[in-house]
Every structure is written in structure tokens, then in C-alpha cells.
Structure 1
Amino acid sequence: MKTTKKGDWFEIIIPPDWNEFTIDHILRVVWNGPKKLIHMLKMEKQVTVNGVPVDWHSPLNRGDRLQLKFFADADFGVIPSYQDIDVLYEDDHLLVVNKPAGLDTHPNDLKQNNTLANVVAYYLQAKGEFRKVLHIHRLDKDTTGAVLFAKHAFVGAILDRMLERRQITRTYLALVEGILHKKKATIKEPIGRDRHHPTRRRVSPSGQPAITHYKVLKVYRNKQQTLIQCSLETGRTHQIRVHLSSIGHPLIGDILYGGAATFPRQALHAAKMTFIHPLTGEFIECLAPFNDETSIFPDDGIELLNMHKDLTS
């Protein structure tokens, strides 16, 4: 599908398989767009065909130019703050960033300026793109790896829905204490707050359902450690950390959940992200290299991950 950005407008050349589709059908059915934003686009006449407004229920023809006003300038919503940034993928609609350790994903108050969202805002500002910074998911402060951001509200709402429906696959690498004897397993234990600790979570019968899949990639018997890949069916706070601790194999360095302080943070890295681009239909795959100055992960960790199929496939 041929798409281009022309100023504030996103333009699509209607492909053969969209012949006789209507604007309404494309926005509601093909893209599964949010009703509120579709209504706004319609009321504010921010959708045209071949440069002019048309009836949203009239059939389009192959080769027509469908234009949508997605790229109007907007306030970042956070304070732009400079820091080196590792962009894994970017186009006009979204970007995937490799988050370093020690950064929150987004501010907890309006004055905070030392988060990944602030760094993304500065990066966009330097490029002359004034977009509200919209994170689609988050990672813990000391977890590294791929984080997805949307550049405008329409694609952000679609990505939010895709995440809920497990249409965005995130695969983690984790280094745990001890030797995992099951090569592949699923942990299904509900997770709730620990009333004795303000930030810790725990397995609790009254908690929210949580499902973690893992597969062993490599065993280091001399160190009594195991490298595993994990994927989630749910997105509870600290889910991987809680689940692995609950089976007696906490993450290396995760002192909050019983891991030994042999590494300055929990050994958890969001190494891979895959999804179908919600507007162009392209398959997007991002691999996040380790970015710690002295990483505890083995050098072949990403290669080992790539040799195995995703657990959700």
C-alpha cells in the first residue's frame, strides 16, 4: 500500500483490494478506529478524497487519494529533556525506543523531566515534529528494552486496543537464579498488592489473573543461573518478577523479590516486539540490543532468542 505524509495530512493511494470500500468502512472496520476520533474527523472535515470532502458512504475507486489530517501540531504533554536515545523503529505514526535502565517510562507528575517520555519529546522536537507523546505500554524503571510510542491520537487508540487483544507481541529475556528443570512452562497465579510493602506485589488468591509463559534458552551450571525467554498474556505490575520469584527462581539482581544483589538491577530485558502496523499493514519486528555498559546478559542472548519461536506463536 502506498502511503505518504504531506504536511498535516496522511495520504493513502487506494489499493485494488480496497476498491469500492467507503471511508466509513476503512476507518471503522479495516482500521477499527475509535468512534470518538472518527466522529471528530468527520465533524471537522479532516478527511478528503482527491483533495475534496466527499460522502463517507460513497464507494472509493482504485487509485483515489484518501487524505486524513493526523499530523497537526500538538503540545508534547511532557517537558522535553535531552538524553541519548536508541530508536529501533520509526515512521510518521509511531516509534519504538530501546529504554535504558534507570528511567521511568513516563512522568508521575507534570514537573518530572527525567523519563523516557521526556527524552522522546526532545527527540521529536529536534526533528521539528510537535506531537503529544503517547506511550502504549510501560516498563519498570530498571527494566530495559523496547517501548512503543504513538505519534498521534488516532493510531494511539488503535495500538491501545491491539495491546489489549494481544496483537502486539513482546518477548523478554530474563536471567534467573538456579536451574529451571522444566524447559517450557506457564505460570498462572493471580497477582495483588503486598499490604506490607508500598511497591511490592505478590501472588494472592484475591489478586488479578496473571499468566506468564517461559522457555529455557540456556543453562549456566557453573553459575547456577538460567537464561529464559518470557511472554505475557496479562500485563500486571511486576508480573514476570513476581511469578519467577514465586517458583523459587527470582531474577538476578532483583532484591525486591528475593534475588541476590549480584547485579545493580533486575536482569530483565524487553528484547523483541512484533506487530502488524495498524495503518499500513506492514509486519514490524524490533530487536532491542542490550544497552547497559556492563550487561549481565550473555552476549549471545539476542541470538538465542531469535533461534526460538515466540512462545505465543
Structure 2
Amino acid sequence: MNTPPDLWEYRLQAEDSGQKYMAILRHKFHFSVKLLQHLKQGERVWVNGKFSYLTARGKEGDTLSIQLFSTEEANIQGEDLPLDILYEDEYMLAVNKPVGQVVHPNRRYPTNTLGNAVVGHWERKGESRLFRPIHRIDRNTSGVVVIAKNQFAHQQLAWQLERGHIHKRYHGFVEGVVEEDNGIIDLSIGFAPNSFIKRQIQADGMSARTLFRVLHRYTNVTFLEFILETGRTHQIRTHCEGFGHPLLGDDLYGGTQTLLSRHALHSSMYAFLHPATRLPMVIRAPFPKDLRLLLIKLRDLDTDNP
């Protein structure tokens, strides 16, 4: 039997001897129950080049091979749109999302989304895949978005995200001068009254923690780095308002648009373990044009007001 070329492989170690392959995949590599059930369909599991059942037991030195790359029918219409690719391999794609683009199509934005752009990119490469973003960022937040290219990669990255093993950093500009050099905003978040979009600080909301560090203080503006310990919707935007320093341009959360017409927030870094190799990955996204121009404006204002 000729095994397919696209395989995930693992060579069993001494501690794996006597264990079922299913147990090794489940407990050592965090394969989900759903993914293991999917692998039972057809001859997708081989040991030393021969078909095997997941319930068989392994021994040291066995080469366990898993076929992960089955053809999938795209769940989104592909479009020929610009796409700023930061990294891509057979498991994942990382892009620098522009300002004003929604991640996933919805009733209000059925086309011109990041999903349409990604699927169109894959179609031009002759690939048919589902669009599986690991996380989402707001329409007017720019920066890193990571997309899994198959069920295995999605499950592996989602597992890391759920357990806080993925580190995300944002950069933003807030109104006023933040006096503390660094700190933690630990304020619970819930829905604002009569709104399906806006959040607010509320004692009985979901716990949320944002770490911040001052990078530079301008005249009445502070440039901050944010690290999320939790991933609530609008977390940074809500915390900045509750902290008394709304993001520049964020009129939904108390910011003014004198210097910028959208909230000044950028997803700048995403660090995690590669879903297949388990080697550390760091994806960085440079600032878009509007934030680069904002930096120039702020420096000019400081020069005018020494």
C-alpha cells in the first residue's frame, strides 16, 4: 500500500510502549475526541507503513503516521482580494488584517471579508479548505490573525488558546497621560444595557485581565503595549474606558476622533507552538499606514509643544 505524502508522523518513545495509539494521541498530543473519531473513517492511521487501528498498542521505535489532509469543500466564497501574508505552511496561515475588514462573513458584511480573501488565495493555489480562524479581531482593529489550514491544526491551536498557552500582544494609543509605567487592569466585563455590541465594566460580568506597559508618553496621549490574560470581546477597548483612558478614535468607548478615525489598536504579535512541529512560533505584524502617520503627528505635536 502506498501511503499518502501528506502525513503527520511521530516516532514512539520508551514511555509510549504498551499504550494504545489512541491514548498516545489523546493525552500526549491533545487530539480531540472529534478528531480521533474522524481518523477512524477510512485508512488514515499507519504504523511502520502499514494500516493500523487506533486501539492497537505500540512499542518503542514504531513510526505512527496520520493522514490529516483530506480535501474539504470551502465554506466561504473565495474572492480575489489583497492579502498581506506573514507566514504560511501546510498547517497554518498568518496574515496582517487591514483596518475596516471583517474576519468572517455575516449578514451585514457578506463579502470582502478576510475569509473571502483567504479562501480566494487558497483557490488560486489549487487548494480547497475550510476557513478556520483561531481568533478574531474587531473590524477596525488591524494586525495578526492566525488561520488553521486543517482540522488537526485548528484543534491543536484551539487547545493552546483555551489554556492560555498562546501569547497575544497589542499596541494602542490612549487619551491622556498614563502615570503608571506598567500595571494590570482587572475588571469584569458584561454587556452594556440595550446593546448587543457594546460592553461595560460590571461587577457580575466575566472576569477579564489586561496587562499594560507604557512605551511612550506624548502630549495628552500615551502609547501602550497590552498583553491579554483573558480574551473577552472588546476587552482592551472596555478596559481602557474603565481605566479612564479610552483608545484614540474609539467613539463607542468614549474616545475622540480628532487624531484618528478608528480606534487606535493593533494586534502586533502572536506567539505559540507550531501545531505539528511544536516548535516556538512568533508572528509579528507591522503597523498599518494610519498608525504610522499617527506616530508622526504625535511627534510633531510634541515638537510644537516642548
2:68 to 60, 67, 70: 70
Distance 2:135 2:175 in 1: 27
Equivalent in the alignment of 2:280: 283
Deviates more, 1:138-147 or 1:210-219: 210-219
Q: Under a length normalisation based on structure 1, what TM-score does the superposition of the two structures give?
A: 0.85
Structure 1 residues 111, 273: CA separation in 2 closer, same or farther (over 3 Å shift)?
A: closer
Matched, 1:268 2:265: yes
Equivalent in the alignment of 2:151: 153
Shift of residue 240, structure 1, vs aligned partner: 0.3
2:139 to 127, 138, 141: 141
When Rg is computed on C-alpha atoms for both structures, the one with the higher figure is 2
Shift of residue 138, structure 1, vs aligned partner: 0.3
SS in 2 for 1:216: strand
Distance 2:166 2:246 in 1: 26
Distance 1:122 1:167 in 2: 30
1:250 to 242, 246, 267: 246
SS in 2 for 1:286: strand
Shift of residue 97, structure 1, vs aligned partner: 1.0
Q: Identical aligned pairs, as a percentage?
A: 34
Q: Under a length normalisation based on structure 2, what TM-score does the superposition of the two structures give?
A: 0.87
Shift of residue 209, structure 1, vs aligned partner: 1.3
Gaps of 5+ in 1: 300-313
Deviates more, 1:10-19 or 1:68-77: 10-19
Distance 2:237 2:153 in 1: 31
Contact 2:8-2:68 at 8 Å conserved across structures: no
Distance 1:296 1:161 in 2: 38
Distance 2:109 2:256 in 1: 34
SS in 2 for 1:36: helix
The CA RMSD over aligned residues, in Å, is: 2.3
1:112 to 106, 110, 123: 110
SS in 2 for 1:174: strand
Gaps of 5+ in 2: 297-306
5 Å-filtered alignment, 1:158-173, equals 158-173=156-171
Contact 1:100-1:292 at 8 Å conserved across structures: no
Distance 1:82 1:165 in 2: 35
Equivalent in the alignment of 2:183: 185
Deviates more, 1:186-195 or 1:138-147: 186-195
Contact 1:78-1:110 at 8 Å conserved across structures: no
Structure 1 residues 74, 226: CA separation in 2 closer, same or farther (over 3 Å shift)?
A: same
Equivalent in the alignment of 1:206: 204
Contact 1:190-1:208 at 8 Å conserved across structures: yes
Contact 2:209-2:230 at 8 Å conserved across structures: yes
Structure 1 residues 172, 18: CA separation in 2 closer, same or farther (over 3 Å shift)?
A: farther
SS in 2 for 1:298: helix
Report the number of matched residues.
Answer: 291
Equivalent in the alignment of 2:222: 226
Equivalent in the alignment of 2:9: 12
Deviates more, 1:68-77 or 1:134-143: 68-77
Structure 1 residues 17, 181: CA separation in 2 closer, same or farther (over 3 Å shift)?
A: farther
